[in-house]
Amino acid sequence: MNKETVKNIRKNYNMNQRNFAQAVNCSFSLIVLVEVGKRRVTKNLEDKIKQAFQLNDHDLKTLQG
């Protein structure tokens, strides 16, 4: 998962960064840093996003940037 995928998932669910961070159970600043490319998407963050939005690998492929 990359920063574009995170942004696409967030936009697909019509969420701002703060609401997305709350849904994923991580900090707002982490989402901001990921989306601007200053932090990478860790396996832990990817798992949290998948779980929060009930996404499987097929869903991710359609949302990838």
Residue-wise pLDDT tens digits, 6-27: 999 999 999 999 999 999 999 9
Spatial contact of 38 and 30, defined as CB atoms under 8 Å apart = no
Per-domain boundaries in the chain: 3-63
pLDDT of residue 59: 87
CATH 1.10.260 fits 3-63, yes or no: yes
Confidence of residue 61 (pLDDT cuts 50, 70, 90): confident
Instruction: Write out the two tokens for 14.
Output: 């019509």
Match 């989402």 to its residue by tokens: 31
Q: What share of the chain is helix, strand, coil (3-state, %, to 5)?
A: 70, 0, 30
Mean pLDDT of the chain: 95
Compute the distance between CA of residue 38 and CA of residue 13 in angstroms, rounded to an integer.
23
Q: Does pLDDT of 47 surpass 80?
A: yes
Compute the distance between CA of residue 27 and CA of residue 48 in angstroms, rounded to an integer.
12
Q: Does pLDDT of 65 surpass 80?
A: no
